[in-house]
């Protein structure tokens, strides 16, 4: 049996904490897509930890953690993460496994990412410059190097061949930066990676399922950044939705049971792209400061706005969401009024559908207002004791989305989750 936890917005929904919370009920935690452009923030024994590629179940000693074939892996970042978790007493080599079919992010991928974004000028999409896009482009272009290639004696010559191809592209961009230090770090990390548990991922995880093990598939970014269904072209380079679990781990659709969709009680977005409910006022700034809305990977300030039920209902539909987990409800504690977007007005016509090309349209959100609860909810541990106005807000979401909010996160701590 496989359950899924993924984001329903533009990422940064707090998935890491949610995976960590649910992990005790599973045997395997598996990451199925994305790369180190994602950062899952956890608080372990009061200490903040940001994981970029290692699954969020790593702090549970009895859990198997798998980096699936759908992930693009930066070995340098991975080694830094491993050093962090090891300093906290985690024996990562015991319970961390990596699929042979996962693709490498090469130093030249990072260079290409940077060169491409610089050339776009004001048309930047807001890339994290981690090399994600170029790595996925090489994957679909059948040029990439995979983790399993480490077992081949020709690995270095394969890298050199690909580097020459990338250098021609970099020359076209007139990219002058010396990346030799990046390459030194890369090959040092690659040598360390040889000692890891590198497995045939699809057989590995299907054997776990056949043995009756419970698998939790962990997504990165959010549904509105999906390369097919997100706000294209301001999206990531992988499938962030439930369908990506099948292609990113090598499992059949019928194995998927529960789909836990994670959504903030409001909305945020990092980088460029359409964001219909974005707030450019004091309320938006208050949410940003109160919620510490700065990227866990880049530190960039996040754009903040009201919850968007048009986009949220769309995300529930394409993912087959069975339960919603609402995070950061406590960030709205002080606000006297809350707004919820139920529809979009486009050229005077109201619609409940996410349009084809959001960035080419003037979208005006249509709101309904709610009275805020204006009290501290962070210490409350039962649904019955939550503020009445918060429960009304949650019940409204349940009715509109036709998917129940089953858990409410009211703080960063592991224990700050209320079952609805």
Q: What is the domain-level CATH number for residue 182?
A: 1.10.300.10
Q: Is the domain of 407 the same as that of 297?
A: yes
Region 383-412 average pLDDT:
96
Region 191-217 average pLDDT:
97
Q: Is the domain of 299 the same as that of 237?
A: no
Q: In the prediction, which pLDDT does 44 show?
A: 76
The Cα angle at residue 224 between residues 218 and 226, in degrees rounded to 5: 65
Q: In the prediction, which pLDDT does 126 show?
A: 61
Region 87-103 average pLDDT:
94
Q: In the prediction, which pLDDT does 41 show?
A: 77
Of residues 246 and 90, more confidently modeled:
246
Q: Is the domain of 306 the same as that of 394?
A: yes
Would you say residue 122 has pLDDT above 90?
no
Helix, strand, coil share of the chain (percent; to 5): 40, 25, 40
The CATH number of whichever domain residue 57 belongs to comes to 3.40.440.10
Q: Residue 21: which H helix or E strand, with range?
A: helix 15-22
Confidence category of residue 121, pLDDT binned at 50, 70, 90: low
Q: Is the domain of 269 the same as that of 395?
A: yes
Q: How far apart are CA 135 and CA 53, in angstroms?
A: 15
pTM of the predicted model as reported, rounded to 2 decimal places: 0.93
Region 339-357 average pLDDT:
97
Q: Is the domain of 279 the same as that of 386?
A: yes
Q: Is the domain of 160 the same as that of 239?
A: no
Q: How far apart are CA 262 and CA 220, in angstroms?
A: 11
Instruction: Give the active site residues.
Output: 12, 40
User: Which of 139, 174, 193 is the C-terminal boundary of a domain?
Assistant: 193
| Chain mean pLDDT for the chain | 93
The percent of residues in the chain predicted with pLDDT above 90, rounded, is: 82
Structure tokens, 164: 């020459």
Region 77-89 average pLDDT:
93
Would you say residue 123 has pLDDT above 70?
no
Would you say residue 193 has pLDDT above 80?
yes
Q: Is the domain of 124 the same as that of 86?
A: no
Beta-strand (E) ranges in 234-278?
256-264, 267-269
Full domain range(s) for residue 362: 264-419
Residue 364's beta-bridge partner residues?
A: 345
The CATH number of whichever domain residue 361 belongs to comes to 3.90.170.10
Q: In the prediction, which pLDDT does 295 show?
A: 73
Of residues 51 and 304, more confidently modeled:
304
Q: Is the domain of 405 the same as that of 300?
A: yes
Q: Is the domain of 305 the same as that of 407?
A: yes
Q: Is the domain of 180 the same as that of 202?
A: no
pLDDT digits (tens, 9 = 90+) for 28-50: 999 999 999 767 777 777 778 88
User: Which of 259, 276, 295 is the C-terminal boundary of a domain?
Assistant: 259
Can you tell me which residue has the tokens 């170029």? 134
Of 36-40, 345-349, 361-365, where does mean pLDDT reach its minimum?
36-40
Q: Is the domain of 181 the same as that of 202?
A: no
Q: How far apart are CA 318 and CA 242, in angstroms?
A: 8
The percent of residues in the chain predicted with pLDDT above 70, rounded, is: 97
Q: In the prediction, which pLDDT does 124 show?
A: 61
Confidence category of residue 374, pLDDT binned at 50, 70, 90: very high
pLDDT winner (highest mean) among 16-30, 281-295, 304-318:
304-318
User: Which of 136, 158, 193 is the C-terminal boundary of a domain?
Assistant: 193
Cα–Cα distance list, 264 to 8, 79, 356 (Å):
9, 31, 24
What's the number of domains the chain is made of?
A: 3
8 Å CB contact between 44 and 37: no
Question: Measured over all CA atoms, what is the biggest interatomic distance in the chain, rounded to whole angstroms?
Answer: 65
Q: In the prediction, which pLDDT does 39 show?
A: 72
Q: In the prediction, which pLDDT does 119 show?
A: 72
Beta-strand (E) ranges in 184-292?
197-199, 215-218, 256-264, 267-269
Q: Is the domain of 57 the same as that of 180?
A: no
């Amino acid at each position: 049996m496989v359950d899924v936890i993924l984001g329903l917005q533009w990422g940064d929904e707090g998935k890491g904490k949610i995976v960590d919370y649910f992990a005790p009920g599973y045997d395997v935690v598996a990451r199925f897509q994305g790369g180190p452009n994602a950062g899952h923030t956890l608080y372990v024994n009061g200490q903040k930890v940001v994981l970029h590629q290692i699954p969020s179940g790593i702090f549970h000693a009895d859990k198997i953690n798998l980096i699936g074939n759908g992930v693009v892996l930066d070995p340098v970042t991975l080694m830094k993460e491993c050093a962090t978790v090891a300093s906290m007493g985690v024996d990562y080599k015991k319970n961390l496994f990596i699929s042979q079919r996962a693709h490498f992010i090469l130093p030249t991928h990072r260079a290409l990412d940077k060169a491409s974004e610089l050339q776009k000028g004001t048309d930047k999409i807001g890339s994290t410059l981690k090399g994600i896009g170029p790595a996925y482009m090489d994957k679909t272009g059948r040029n990439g190097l995979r983790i399993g290639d480490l077992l081949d004696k020709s690995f270095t010559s394969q890298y050199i061949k690909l580097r020459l191809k990338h250098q021609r592209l970099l020359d076209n961009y007139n990219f002058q930066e010396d990346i030799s230090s990046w390459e030194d770090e890369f090959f040092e990390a690659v040598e360390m990676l040889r000692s890891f548990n590198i497995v045939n991922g699809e057989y590995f995880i299907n054997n776990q399922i056949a043995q009756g093990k419970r698998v939790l598939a962990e997504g990165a970014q959010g549904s509105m950044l999906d390369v097919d269904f997100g706000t294209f072209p301001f999206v990531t380079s992988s499938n962030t939705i439930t369908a990506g679990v099948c292609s990113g781990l090598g499992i059949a659709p019928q194995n998927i049971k529960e789909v836990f969709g994670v959504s903030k009680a409001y909305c945020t977005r990092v980088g460029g792209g359409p964001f219909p409910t974005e707030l450019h006022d004091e309320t938006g700034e208050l949410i940003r400061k109160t919620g510490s809305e700065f990227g866990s990977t880049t530190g960039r300030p996040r754009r903040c706005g009201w919850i968007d039920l048009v986009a949220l209902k769309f995300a529930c539909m394409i993912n087959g969401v069975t339960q919603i987990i609402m995070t950061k409800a406590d960030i709205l504690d002080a606000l006297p009024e809350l707004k919820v977007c139920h529809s979009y007005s486009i050229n005077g016509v109201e619609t409940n559908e996410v349009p084809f090309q959001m960035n080419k349209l003037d979208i005006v959100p249509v709101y309904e207002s709610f009275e805020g609860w204006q009290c501290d909810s962070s210490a409350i541990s039962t649904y019955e004791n939550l503020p009445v106005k918060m429960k009304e807000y949650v019940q409204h979401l349940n009715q509109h989305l036709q998917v129940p909010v089953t858990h409410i996160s009211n703080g960063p701590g592991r224990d700050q989750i209320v079952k609805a």
